[in-house]
A = this chain, B = another copy of it.
Amino acid sequence: MSFPLKVRSVRGNNGGGGGGTGTKCGRWNPTVEQLKVLSDLFRAGLRTPTTDQIQKISTELSFYGKIESKNVFYWFQNHKARERQKRRKISIDFDHHHQENDYISHHHHRQPSTRDVLEINEDEEERVIETLQLFPVNSFQESKVEKMRSRVNNQYREYIRETNTTTFLSYSSCGAEMEHPSPLELRLSFL
């Protein structure tokens, strides 16, 4: 529960060597050094590192212990998500608190069911990434060439949106319709 200064067991191991034997290798367990670097990067403003950045970070962190790129990826993913989540929760609490204070009618207390919670103060973001000196990851993403590719497949998205907004009634019996070309049979003739 301890907050930021979580230290966790250092998991012994490595320091470059790789003697991380004792650890159950089913799941990556960051060392304190790794955690520090990651936190620093995050604090410096890095939120969604590019593949190159991930690679660099991962490579660098491998010095402190076994680590893979995906671990870095997941770490940032989770860290960002959970911070947002935390902030969201706080905001909700705040909101809730206020609502209790003023019981005005035009305030609609919405239960944050699942996804109702919309973005709240999401400011304070994306600080200068260039300033983090830990790893000079100034690799630009110059890929502007491929921008004219996606064009059609957005239709399904629209469809989804449509069906989501349009009543979910889904009338049970639709015997008449189903005008599918042919009585089909999907079969897996293997396995």
Chain A interface residue count, CB cutoff 8 Å, equals: 92
Asked if A98 meets B172 with Cβ closer than 8 Å, knowing A55-B92, A155-B153, A156-B156, the reply is no
Residues in B neighbouring A27, C-beta threshold 8 A: 114
Q: In terms of DSSP, what is the predominant structure of the interface of chain A?
A: loop
Interface flag for A35 (CB, 8 Å): no
B152 and A60 contacting across the interface, CB-CB below 8 Å? no
Query: In the complex, what residue of chain B is closest to A62 when comparing beta carbons?
Result: B96
Residues in B neighbouring A92, C-beta threshold 8 A: 55, 59
Interface flag for A132 (CB, 8 Å): yes
Residues in B neighbouring A126, C-beta threshold 8 A: none
A interface list, Cβ under 8 A from B: 14, 16-20, 24-27, 40-41, 44, 50-60, 62-63, 66, 68-70, 72-73, 90, 92-93, 96-100, 112-120, 129, 131-136, 141, 143, 151-153, 155-160, 162-164, 166-172, 174, 177-178, 180-191
Q: How far is the CB of A28 from chain B (nearest CB, A)?
A: 12
Question: Considering the chains assembled together, what is the distance between the CA atoms of A19 and B93 in angstroms?
Answer: 19
Q: Quick one: which of A100, A133, A160, A188 has the most chain B CB within 10 A? A: A188
Residues in B neighbouring A70, C-beta threshold 8 A: 117-120, 156, 159-160, 163
A187 and B184 contacting across the interface, CB-CB below 8 Å? no
Question: Considering the chains assembled together, what is the distance between the CA atoms of A25 and B60 in angstroms?
Answer: 40
What are 22 A-B interface contacts by the 8 Å CB criterion?
Answer: A26-B114, A41-B186, A44-B188, A51-B113, A52-B180, A52-B181, A55-B90, A55-B112, A63-B96, A68-B119, A69-B93, A73-B117, A114-B143, A129-B190, A134-B186, A153-B155, A155-B160, A163-B164, A166-B177, A167-B171, A183-B191, A186-B188
Q: How far is the CB of A47 from chain B (nearest CB, A)?
A: 13
